[in-house]
Amino acid sequence: MSNITIRNYIKGLEMRRTNFKKSVLATSIAVVLTSSSPSLAIAAEETNADDNIEIIEVTGIRASSKASINQKRFATSQVDGITAEDIGKLPDVTIADSLQRITGVQITRSAGEGGTIAIRGLPQVGTTMNGEVFLSATTIDTSGANFGDLPAQLFSGLEVFKSAEASRSAKGISGSVDLKTRRPFDMDTGWTFNAAAEASQGSISEETDPNFNGLVSFNNDKFGVLFSAAKQQATLATDYNGYFDTSEDGGIGAANNSHTWGAGPNSGDIRHVVPQGFAAFNKQEERDRDAFQLSVQADLGEGFTLTADAFYSKQERFNNRSGFSQNNRWQSFNDYAFPSDGFTDDAPFTDDDGNEWRGVNAFDMKSYRMQSFTQVNINEEESQNYNLQLDYDNGGALTGGVRMTRAKAEASMRHAYGEGDILSIDQGTLVTGPGGLAPASYCNNGEEIVGDQGGCFAQYSQGIQDQFMLNYDARGEHPHFSGFNQMVNGGKGMRSVGDYMSDLDSYHVGAFSSEGNTDDVGEINTFSTAWNYAFDDMPFITSVDFGVRYEERKVDHDQFTYTSEFGGGCDIAQWKAVDQFYGDECVGVDGAGEMVDGEWTPYTLLAPTRLDEHTSVSYQTDFGNVTGIPGVWVIDPENFRDPRQFQKDVFGNVQRVENAGRTYDVNLNEFSYFLQANFEEGIFSGNFGVKVVETEQYVKQNLVGPSLPHSGLNPDIGDVVTERDYTDVLPSINVAAAVTDDVILRAAYAKNMMPLNLGALGGGKSVGKVFNEECGCLRVVEGSLAGSPDLDPWRSTNYSVSAEWYNGDASMMFISAFNIDIESFVGSGTVMIDEPDDDGVKRGPWPFSTPVQAEGGSIKGLELGARVAFDDFIDVPVLSNFGLDANYTYSDSTQDSDLAKDVYGSDLPFPGMSEDTYNFVLWYEQEDFSTRLAWNSVSPRLITTGGAGVGGQTLYQDTYSQLDFSATYNLNEMFSFYVYGSNILEEYQQTYLENSSQKAFQNVYEARWTLGARMTF
């Protein structure tokens, strides 16, 4: 193992807290050196720092736990931390998975890995790296923390700040996270080398992925340089089933109810949710991560230290799904899916119009559309963060420095999908006619010639030409589909539904599209100077911190679609589909239509196309835990690796057309200054101060015109610019009382501010439309007004108290309580707008979702936990090598708004919040071997509130638990071997609508195992 002496902590276990000047010094050194850089806001009060330093070699679970305990003990505010067990070895595979072990921290998962971070129930979390703002490509236009693009091996530790200090630059309503990288002056003198190689595999994907990371460092106490890098590949399987939805992790945006568009023939008096369809997909995400860190430090003499850092990360993600979908083709909700086994046992509710609603878990579905469906999202995320700082500490009363950071991040997402329809659109089925007229070249199967140029209503495939019912049953642990043994008529005579599904000749392409693509560019530039002045003999006040800071943030967000021109440019389409036809602008244009019975009749934009005409295909019979589906022919996702090129190859041309309602520019410039006093009186110590933040906001939105044909695109017809400024005065107080040598009581108060997700400021109007056979046009079904530049930022007043008992060298117990009063935030609202359909007729009004200014809300909670190293209390062979880490968080939140009520009239929690979070870690460590079992569980959390279409019912994730495992064997001081296992019990995410018995969809996560070897010398 390495002999890395990380000067993180002070010799505080033997110190009395009543000697305040030493404790302040100790805290300063802990904060400075744990963050791998001298703090600009905190400085030592005495020159002889080395007398109070305990050198802790952080190698192993116990030492890591001890270091994290000392982080908490000697912090000047309420802090929790995680320290790497060795170079390149945080306790978990990902940063987010490590953070979820901390009380008050919750994570959401994407493709099975930890994603967005929430502290004490809120995702409005600030992120810094080594004490200054960090820009990630995953959060360019959001105000949250997501570390999915960052390899954990490049970090030495993490700190979670739950109470604010005026001297800290981090934002955050409920807290902030500081990522810590290594710097050369943290390392042993001389050269240090570290390298690791890993192979990982998932239980579903069964792909073996290589990973490599390494570090080289040189330090001679006057000059140092450190370079570390990581390369990771992962193939993450996350099968999906349930409500048909095309968002990456599922949703209810396409769901409606049994009375949408009026009462149907079998709607009855009781309303219930009707999804747009039901699906079972194999879904996986390929992730390639590359990252490196370069750090250079120089002791310039006379107390000056120069530090320069560069951190680069790049991630490519290929998220793909393929499988089975049975849906309503947007033709009907009120006559599509009906309860096949009555309603759930949950209490009914009554909406504002007096209608009774019940839950449904099993449906009989009419055969509007049955298809295979393939979709991909290709993400490229790249960020660069640079830091240059000059610190001054010459042993005198004044210490501090100046710092400049530059950060730029770019993120792109490309989306594409293809549909393989099995039902005929020519005859016999519920929906006939979308295929329309085709040119003579497609009239080779005995069709009747009806056009003056030999055109016909062509046969699209030899698929099913009949009507039948399928059944979807989600009452068991996993869904079951049935009805595929029914005999139906079709292009090849009477056969079972399943037989037609297994015949490639049954399929035709229903649509190709690439829409909702995005490009994001963000920059954050800062300049700051911060200082500390220590007083030798002043009573009560021992030092003051003061400084100024300027931050410039720029974001350019573009959303666009790849369209293609048809008819020599007379028409343009986003949806190249069988139910889209040349428009009136193309009348008389050669190749756009022909005369039928004396009238010009347009061709369909997508003529009969076999599923395998432009793509490779495969027969899929694996639908994960879903049963009953015999199999479908699917387009291989690899065909869509380059959506733009695919569209060009198939349709001969491609254009990028902006979606004006989803495109915006936002600039935020902040000038802040702070003054903080650090104090000590008897057993009491702490700080109080104030930070003033002056913000200038610039928002450029697009004015939108009427929708373009065959699309959901609203063109840009002009810009509207809104500028405003506001000032926040943010006081903070942190008090600690060392009531005994081992017991510390803390209290904290602060006012916090954090900007909104920038889309809530800059987004415009978007209209959702679908083809309707009744009018032969695209009809409005919903829409959104995505942003308003007049919305205020998040603001809160935070209170917290805690008690900490340090009852061993590597053991402690704690309890804390907190209250966050939310003064302003953004909620979700709905307005009704009578938007015209494509034929100019207004058939609304229709619900448009919009962000609204919300005022009032609170989060109250309790955190308690214990870290125990058994050898602190017993001296028994084997048992003394054990330890545990257990904690629990309770969070209760309410939104004081009439818009934030559930269907029973109770206050809703804030989105993303779970009421209960549990962690239990059991570890064992001896000289050459260590192992660890870590369990995490969260109670149901609110994902999103539903609109009028689902009766205002709310989507929740059900209770989710996960067990992880790790073990390390140290062959000698140079070589070690290890194994990691994440989600080893193969848990899955179940969602439900309002009540747990009304299931919505599942994301099924795989177990992943990693074998690795590490060398250090």
Q: Which residues are CB-neighbours of 802 under 8 A, at least 6 positions away?
A: 78, 745, 746, 747, 814, 815, 816, 817, 863
Model confidence pLDDT, tens digit, residues 405-428: 999 999 999 999 999 999 999 889
Q: Residue 98 above 60 pLDDT? A: yes
- As a whole number of Å, the CA-based R_g of the chain is 31
| 466-502: pLDDT as tens digits | 999 999 999 999 999 999 999 999 999 999 999 999 9
For residue 186, what pLDDT is reported? 94
* Least confident window among 215-219, 807-811, 829-833, 869-873: 829-833
Tokens at residue 217, please? Answer: 């460092």
Give the contacts of 70 (CB within 8 A, at least 6 positions apart). Answer: 8, 9, 10, 12, 30, 56
The fraction of the chain above a pLDDT of 90, given in percent, is 72
Output the pLDDT for position 384. Answer: 97
pLDDT of residue 109: 87
Is residue 248 very low, low, confident or very high in pLDDT (cuts 50, 70, 90)? confident
Average pLDDT over residues 935-941: 95
pLDDT at 825: 83
Q: How many other CB atoms are found less than 10 A from the CB of residue 828?
A: 18
Which of these ranges, 37-41, 321-325, 570-574, has the smallest mean pLDDT?
37-41
Q: Tell me the C-alpha distance between 406 and 772, whole Å.
A: 51
| Mean of pLDDT values over 635-642 | 98
Residue 836 banded pLDDT, cuts 50, 70, 90: confident
Give yes or no for residue 887 having a pLDDT over 60. Answer: yes
Contact yes or no for 516/559 (Cβ under 8 A): yes
Q: What single-letter DSSP state applies at residue 259?
A: T
132-141, 231-240, 749-758, 833-842, range with the lowest pLDDT: 833-842
Residue 15: pLDDT over 70: no
- Tokens for 243, please give them: 């409500």
Whether 180 and 159 have beta carbons less than 8 Å apart is answered as yes
How many helices (H) and strands (E) would you count in the chain? 6, 57
Once rounded to an integer, what is the mean pLDDT over residues 231-258? 93
Write the single-letter amino acid at 668. Answer: L
Q: For residues 590 and 461, is the Cβ–Cβ distance under 8 A?
A: no
Indicate the CATH number for domain 7-19+58-193. Answer: 2.170.130.10
3-class secondary structure, 494: coil
More confident residue, 845 or 594: 594
More confident position, 827 or 953: 953
pLDDT band at residue 88 under the 50/70/90 scheme: low
β partners of residue 655: 563
Q: Which two tokens stand for residue 103?
A: 């009380």
Please indicate whether residue 853 or residue 207 has the higher confidence score (pLDDT): 207
Q: Which residues sit opposite 98 in a β-bridge? A: none
Q: Give dist(CA 402, CA 215) in Å, integer.
A: 28
Instruction: Give residue 739's pLDDT.
Output: 96
Q: Which of the four pLDDT bands, split at 50, 70 and 90, describes residue 47?
A: very low
Region 889-902 average pLDDT: 84
Closest CA to 702 of 555, 851, 558, 831: 558
pLDDT of residue 24: 35
Give pLDDT, residue 771: 66
pLDDT at residue 14 is higher than 90: no
> How many whole angstroms separate alpha carbon 118 and alpha carbon 111?
18
Task: Tell me the pLDDT tens digit for each residue of 765-814.
Answer: 667 767 676 777 777 777 777 788 889 999 999 999 999 999 999 999 99
Mean pLDDT within 650-676: 95
Output the CA torsion 178→181→182→183 (10° steps): -90
pLDDT at 10 over 80: no
Q: What is the pLDDT of residues 519-550, one digit of tens each?
A: 999 999 999 999 999 999 889 999 999 999 99
Whole-number Å distance between alpha carbons of 3 and 82: 19
Kindly give the pairing relationship between strand 356-357 and strand 349-350. Answer: antiparallel
Nearest CA to 613 out of 418, 323, 378 is that of: 418
What residue has token string 């790049």? Answer: 314
Closest CA to 946 of 264, 119, 239, 351: 351
Average of per-residue pLDDT across 140-148: 89
Q: Is the peptide bond before 793 cis (omega within 30 degrees of 0)?
A: no
pLDDT at 37 > cutoff 50: no
For residue 516, pLDDT over 50 is answered with: yes
The rounded distance, in Å, linking the Cα atoms of 500 and 830 is 43
463 pLDDT band, cuts 50/70/90, is very high
Mean pLDDT of the chain: 89
How many angstroms separate the CA atoms of 259 and 833, rounded? 19
Q: Please indicate whether residue 943 or residue 38 has the higher confidence score (pLDDT).
A: 943
